[in-house]
Structure 1
Amino acid sequence: MKRRLFSLVMVPLLLFSANAAAAEEKEEDWHDETMYFLMTDRFMNGDRSNDEQTDNNDPSAYQGGDFKGIQDELEYLQELGMTSIVISPVFENEAGAYHGYSITNYSKMNSQFGSGQELAALVASAHEKNIRVIVEFPATRVSTEHVWLDDAQKVDWFTEASIAQEPAWLGEMALLNTANPDVQSALVEAAVKLADETGIDGYFFSGASAAEPRFWTKFNESLPELHLIGEMSGASMQEAAAYEEAGLDAVTSSWLQEPIREQFATVDRSSEEVKELLLEEQNVLSDPLAAVHKADSALADRFTLDMASENMFPGARWRMALTYMYTAPGTPAILYGSEIAQNGESGPDSHGLMNFRTDQELVDYIKQIAVLRQDLPALRRGSYEPLYEEDGMSVFKRQYEDETIVVAINNTGETQNITISAAELDEEKELRGLLNGDMSRAADGSFTIILDREEAEIYALAEKTGVNYAFIAAMLAVWIVFVIFLYLVWKRGKKAAKSS
């Protein structure tokens, strides 16, 4: 809490003194987002009337979460610093499919989560809090009980009527024939209808790379005002660029997920691979700042499980990873429960109920770095330049207009003392820490950064501060008044003693 208060108080002062660009009005585009992926059924139960299939004694059954529950917790998400939420699929599903991927009808809503009107109410409430709502839309595979499979005229709408899926807990599913233009038209129609009726801001197309890039062009043409994100499962960065060109507004950086987890699951791991991938994104992707970076996902083991297997404390590991994701180029995204270090293997075990009453230390830290990300345009839109990389100690520079931010992350097991050439920054300025209040001035042509193990600092390059005489005078005045007050109290007490 002390750190968070320091950031909230000091950031505005430091930015103004550094003539930073934060004073500019935030532009309303998608480069300023921090995303929160949530599984509706596992988040919050706000309406008991739709709990028909709920069984809280069975982790593989519905647990009761719904649209009303999300709506009730919007203030929590706002305070956490989330500007967009991505909610799990909303269409009708086969019995027990709490995750939403086993779609049986694109024309109906999943009654376990609520109605279209309740989703619209959620969207309206979110917009009042400046939170955008994106709906996950599986468009390449559906339930083996999907209504289209019962239509003899739609046989060619599928390439497989039933095939085992990965991860295994998804069971058997049917694969849609995305090369069939009728399939595309039906899916686009469903997407347009839901958007028109609810006012959502975009779609997250899970498994998007399972279809050819051109499959998504019509979605873009029919939904020009919506933000369309494609999940690149196993696709290379070069392949992902083709999906952007075909009409998707952003892609997930699937190539980064495992390297980030590998780097931050423990200490003293090389950070070179992630650095090189981030540099490559700047040259390959059409819009690298919109690329979505995730460490956790609903279809994988929890990142916390990786940390546990390394016998590491999850809180510190998550702080390091999230600091990196919140300050590196791209759009940071976390899966619900990551802020409380939720654990579990892929499937129901990793889809535990959200606990809003757990230890708040990590939650408070996320709030702190979220404030910095929103207050510092360089962290959202700036250029990216690595300054130092060695065995888990990472230092990089983000620059936007007149604002320069330096991020230092010590993901090692011991205190690090490194120097950065003043030629990379400005010898006439100083580095002022916004997380912990650290400060560094150039000496002998270099800045020195000292960081304890498993700690991070975000520095603003600012004009050097001199002696603050006004502040000193104010403090002296306070002490003088306090001393006079004590003297008067003592004198009054002495007088009262004499009179008695």
Structure 2
Amino acid sequence: MIPLLLFSSNAALAEEKSEKWHDETIYFLMTDRFMNGDHTNDQQVNNEDPSAYQGGDLKGAADQLDYLQEMGITAVVVSPVFENEAGAYHGYSVTDYSKLNEQFGTKKDLQKLVKKAHELKIRVLVDFPATRVSTDHVWLSDTDKADWFTSRSNQQDPAWLGEMAELNTANSDVQKALVDAAETLADDTEIDGYFFSNASQAEPAFWTAFADRLSKLHLIGELKDMTPEEGAAYEEAGLDSVTAPWVQEPLRKQFATVDRSSEEVKNLLLKEQEVLNNPLSTIHVTDSVLTDRFTLDMANENMFPGARWKMALTYMYTTPGTPAIFYASEIAQNGESGVDSHGLMNFRTDQELVDYIKQIAVLRSDLPALRRGTYEPLYEKDGMSVFKRQYKDETLIVAINNTGETKKVTIPAEELDPDKELRGLLAGDMSRAADGGFTLILDREEAEIYALAEKTGINFAFIGAMAVVYVTFMIFLYIVWKRGKRAVNKE
């Protein structure tokens, strides 16, 4: 720390957090696997069977909101809360949209969770499965609703979801019934929005009625196997933002190991800026409830998950878009898609990765350029990425060395300002222009976020104070030595 203290440290530009959703950092919370806060609703719980309910509930989630706030989370997506078929701990096999899942608690429990979250300035969204339901759904037993389904039983992907009935989203009555259910729950609980899982199974126009009736809520659509251009159609239809499946797999491939090209993800991010209506609100994730854990990719590459996660999350938190974390990613949860990847959350695990997430979350919160700034790639080669984010008078340079060796990159001075310096905010690095460029040196698997700032001079007052302390200490040692010598001579 002493070399840093020799220089004055002007605080980086900060700005009041706006109401815009691209400022958020999202956490996907699987209720049953997160925290058991009320044992009175454990009727279906069987802790000996990982495919059964494990006891997590809405009260438990509310009890851990402080943990999420400390990690820099500002919005939570709660897994589906509607009544489900027996054993469907994940919540996607809905049997009745007019009732809540008793395993997770009551409507009052959800209201309490929302109330506490709002006190902590955390927004709450609910995962709303609106394209497929349980084969035991109450609508299936109503003969007047025979045309509400395109399939009464169809094997789902991934396979662990089992057989489900698929809703006829082209039917206006289906659309109205779903919007009514969504509006009722929102009015009763004051949630902030919905995450429509499997949204791409319905045509974009299907979501327009949701946008019209739920105009005060933030609506996110989960897309699968789509391009940015196709995702833009869902925004045009009224969804406020969408997930980015086009980025997810390339991002995982890039950071599962070292020395992988970053060109594909860079180009996709630029494409998002070009074709999406709300590119800064686009949701970027690595793993989700449906996928293998990202940690499994790392394990398959024989890599240490902690370093891999740090690189990936730094990239997600500093590139354009809204970063989202699936529960337990912060403890590097492992497993194949399904039950294996839906382990219980462990709040007592190693805190190193959690602490790192806190650090980059603070920077993302305090630096508007990371949330709203322009995006300009400056250098990309085999895992070494350098890019510029700029917002108003704030200029940041992000350097991520996702390689197996130390890297040196020189940024031409004219790209920035030769009369200023780059001040590191993660590791405290510093660079000044010399020979026409700013030189950045990063060790392997290291990242730095630099703020372009006015040059700082040597802090002579601090050096003087340190000199006085040093001289005083030397005089003290001399006096002690002299007294000791006299005592020996007297003996």
Q: TM-score, normalised by structure 2?
A: 0.95
**1:267 and 2:267 aligned:** no
With 215-224 and 277-286 compared, the bigger mean Cα shift is at 215-224
Give 2:63's match in structure 1, choosing from 26, 49, 72: 72
**Stretches of structure 2 lacking an aligned partner (at least 5 in a row):** none
Q: Which residue of 2 aligns with 1:83?
A: 74
Q: Deviations over 1:370-403 (max 9, x none)?
A: 1111111100000000000000000000000000
Give 1:28's match in structure 2, choosing from 14, 19, 28: 19
Distance 1:169 1:137 in 2: 19
**1:124 and 2:124 aligned:** no
**Stretches of structure 1 lacking an aligned partner (at least 5 in a row):** none
Distance 1:478 1:120 in 2: 58
Q: Which residue of 2 aligns with 1:359?
A: 350
**How far apart are residue 247 of structure 1 and its match?**
0.6
SS at match of 2:188: helix
Cα pair 1:14 1:462 within 8 Å, conserved: no
What does residue range 227-306 of structure 1 map to in structure 2 within 5 Å? Answer: 227-306=218-297
Give 2:410's match in structure 1, choosing from 412, 419, 431: 419
**1:456 and 2:433 aligned:** no
Cα pair 1:386 1:397 within 8 Å, conserved: yes
Cα pair 2:409 2:440 within 8 Å, conserved: yes
Distance 1:203 1:14 in 2: 42
**How far apart are residue 479 of structure 1 and its match?**
4.3
Distance 1:47 1:493 in 2: 68
**How far apart are residue 492 of structure 1 and its match?**
10
Q: Which residue of 2 aligns with 1:215?
A: 206
**How far apart are residue 21 of structure 1 and its match?**
3.5
Distance 2:173 2:483 in 1: 92
Give 2:390's match in structure 1, choosing from 390, 393, 399: 399
Q: Which residue of 2 aligns with 1:173?
A: 164
Give 2:140's match in structure 1, choosing from 139, 149, 166: 149
Cα pair 2:13 2:366 within 8 Å, conserved: no
**How far apart are residue 488 of structure 1 and its match?**
8.8
Q: Which residue of 2 aligns with 1:442?
A: 433
With 29-38 and 94-103 compared, the bigger mean Cα shift is at 29-38
Q: 1:493 to 1:74 in 2, by over 3 A?
A: farther
Q: Which residue identity does 2:129 align to in structure 1? A: P
What does residue range 367-386 of structure 1 map to in structure 2 within 5 Å? Answer: 367-386=358-377
Distance 1:14 1:234 in 2: 47
**How far apart are residue 178 of structure 1 and its match?**
0.5
Residues paired across the two proteins, number: 489
Give 2:33's match in structure 1, choosing from 30, 42, 46: 42
Q: Which residue of 2 aligns with 1:140?
A: 131
Q: Which residue of 2 aligns with 1:60?
A: 51
Q: Which residue of 1 aligns with 2:466?
A: 475
Give 1:104's match in structure 2, choosing from 95, 100, 118: 95
Q: Which residue identity does 2:198 align to in structure 1? A: G
Distance 1:72 1:399 in 2: 38
Q: Which residue identity does 2:142 align to in structure 1? A: D
Distance 1:208 1:192 in 2: 18
Distance 1:90 1:493 in 2: 76
Distance 1:184 1:417 in 2: 56
Q: Deviations over 1:270-292 (max 9, x none)?
A: 00000000000001000100000
Distance 1:201 1:15 in 2: 37
Cα pair 1:209 1:233 within 8 Å, conserved: yes
Q: Which residue identity does 1:222 align to in structure 2? A: R
Q: 1:154 to 1:401 in 2, by over 3 A?
A: same
Cα pair 1:34 1:332 within 8 Å, conserved: yes
Q: Deviations over 1:447-485 (max 9, x none)?
A: 111111111111111111111112223333444665677
With 87-96 and 228-237 compared, the bigger mean Cα shift is at 228-237
Distance 1:135 1:479 in 2: 60
**How far apart are residue 486 of structure 1 and its match?**
7.0
Q: 1:467 to 1:108 in 2, by over 3 A?
A: same
**1:51 and 2:42 aligned:** yes
Distance 1:219 1:15 in 2: 47
Q: Which residue identity does 1:293 align to in structure 2? A: H
Q: Which residue of 2 aligns with 1:432?
A: 423
Distance 1:342 1:249 in 2: 30
Cα pair 2:195 2:220 within 8 Å, conserved: yes
Q: Deviations over 1:189-213 (max 9, x none)?
A: 1101111111111100001111111
Q: Which residue identity does 2:429 align to in structure 1? A: D
Q: Which residue identity does 1:195 align to in structure 2? A: A
Distance 2:485 2:88 in 1: 79
Distance 1:120 1:431 in 2: 47
Q: Deviations over 1:335-373 (max 9, x none)?
A: 011011100000000000000111111111111111111
SS at match of 1:432: strand
Give 2:399's match in structure 1, choosing from 408, 411, 418: 408
Q: Deviations over 1:207-265 (max 9, x none)?
A: 11111111111111111111100011112211110111111000001100000000000
Q: Which residue of 2 aligns with 1:333?
A: 324
Q: Deviations over 1:90-130 (max 9, x none)?
A: 00000000000000000000000000110000010011111
Q: Which residue of 1 aligns with 2:106?
A: 115
Q: Which residue identity does 1:370 align to in structure 2? A: A
Q: TM-score, normalised by structure 1?
A: 0.94
Distance 2:61 2:44 in 1: 19
Cα pair 1:203 1:229 within 8 Å, conserved: yes
SS at match of 1:188: helix
Give 1:311's match in structure 2, choosing from 299, 302, 306: 302
SS at match of 1:427: coil
Distance 1:72 1:485 in 2: 54
Distance 2:484 2:439 in 1: 55
**How far apart are residue 30 of structure 1 and its match?**
0.7
**How far apart are residue 496 of structure 1 and its match?**
12
Distance 2:119 2:317 in 1: 24
